[in-house]
Chain A
């Protein structure tokens, strides 16, 4: 591990210190609250999104700790003296609902596209902004308004439907389900607008010479994600409106007491929410493709296979929704078809993992914080993906459906994987975004604590679920006590790890060494800009090259960063193979 002792400096592409402390960056290009509130700059919107989703993550995480603490023991006296009477049980039901809804709709779905995507995507195509900057701002305000609805839910009597809003319970509950579905409806628009922007930007704003296969793989992932966001989210929107209509007007759609069909809701809901699983994880896969290659100092292996596997996952993601409903009473034929189709998703996921391993093979692996998260991601995504096989197969799913096994599985995929990609990606682009380096030692410590805490929390839940512990239980049979003990302990470790990450970031913003333009020797175009970038992203038009050909950059030990070689264009023209 290198000790970074030399005085920090902002450097330009050829390593010359940028001495002007008043250099224009997107942070200081304009001042005052209005310059942020009405900004059209994708980087500022990314920063606002970052603050927003981290606040949502804090809220959702608090709920997680509350519910894990309530599950710590199964006796009548639990931490906080809440007991296990009706009040405590209702509180628990609300805690897991708010946890799920906030984490899904306000955190995981927007996290990587809206923060990292907004920050990086236009720069990776060398553009000054996304295609529709005003829509981008509107997307953020949709998120904000949707988030306010959820906050209103908290004071209007809470929500106890589970994040899935299953009917007819969601029609009948006395909690603020109407406000919650309207909030999710509005949050959906934020997601759609981001998707529209990304598709348009990738299609229309690439510079000459940057063909589809010269896009960084993050863009393939974000593009695939955007397609899902555009096509699937409207279905959720309509479904939630129907739920609201049923609640407010008493129109019988999903409640059998009014002549509706509750299983119809599940079809509608999962037609969105299964693809939404890939909205959550695909961007993470993209981030990891970047990190693995850059930190292995080696060209990504199987570029086209990784790129097309993103599209394949997006496509297959649309035709597997019925696997959430194997026990609902839908016909055996539908179940069989959905089970078979679900198996198809395993293939592109496996292809990605194998290609990352092949990229690491014989690489010169730099085990810095982003790479630790990258490897943690491979570990967690492998477990999450492989355990999905149990749930795709029909008769084993009958046993595991709605048990802790499912809870563990999707936390490995959506939290383990996506959260690791999000944190790893933020560490990776942190220097670009904030113009500051973070503390490497604490970055690594944090990564290990988060990794250990996560596995401690969720791996044991596979065992609990295998042995029949149903999910969403405020009380549980005594035989499951030991699993809950371990899981709750793990969640505390995870919390400590996440606070280490947070303090490291705050410390970096306050005390961090000024970041060089390209600390990692990466070759996607955002690294050709200064850290942080100017308002219009690039002072000089960036040069197009293979994003995974790292030959064009030379390490400069004086600044502990990479500088562009003089013959960059020739190296790029020659290619690596």
Chain B
């Protein structure tokens, strides 16, 4: 490994990891739930359209909803059983508002549908690998849930030369990737090699935080004899931010507003690489994922392999329930995850953890005045001035906040975490970004309306003009005819 290739990360915080709660607990398969609630939108992009009807019998891994358009992902049956409903069900979103969801009643057999397994996945054309990844419904499992096949295709077309596999897992509590790397390193490495092959990258780097020595050792052992480099990076939050990891590993920064592909980099999560291996080599679509169940209020924190669509309650029940009434339920990690409004909400493809936190763990007293201590400035991994942005947003001066870099904020929450005045800084920024997109939408709408109105008046003018011209032509023709007639009369 080239030491010169490693670069000191900027900003960041060191929150209490709490990973010890679940790090030593091997992944166990959650017993099959009776009912699964599978949302049709679990990814960035357009929602999938159901291809089964209520009452249909389905097999595990069978396509139940097809992707729509260029950025979308299909959804597969997480187990065998019967489709009992196709309607709205509470979404894994802070609002808990209902979204189109397919409800599946398990038949308890968990029977896989037949799948074509290639003799040698590496003999497949790169196009074909990307197609199979897309058909398997794989999305970024680090939490972003962006359709992976889209990323593979963009990367291949733009000539990406470096593949970075994100094993950072910098969020406190979460240990799902850590466990997966310890237990399924071979599968992850096979997946990395498939992506490597599909994109035609020149090098592949796996970045793992140095607080996971077992995972690093397991991955190094599995990568032995391949050209994959496993690199330990300093443990700090947000090391798992793909652009931070990129800078830490190769010392290059993704241009603002750009994509990793702009500097020849493709970043995938370790769990995504594993899912690629499962899909391409074994023909198994993405129907389950590893979820960390943790938090101070959970009796026995666990790492579970969970079928997509399992209600969070089933996970907590399996972990022995709550030792105390949780102060807050969280889906994802505590830094960027969102509140889980109820426990009947299902696990989706992007769910890395479900946490039941106590009051002591949340610890957010009333906000106090900002003392400009600039701890937030030092914590920001992007290089923003959170305190200054917050004052502008509080004064409803959105443009000034944009001028200070609001659009570059990644909402990692480091500033809020360290603020001694307990000001919900990142909340301000998320609010402002919401306002901004509402404003942009309104602007687009206004422009569209204006264009329609302009087009209409242009059209009306044209019609009137054409009518007039036609009338003039008719008049001219008539006059000409009359003149000819007169002339004829004269000659006659």
Q: Are A and B genuine complex partners?
A: no
* A residues apposed to B, CB below 8 Å: none
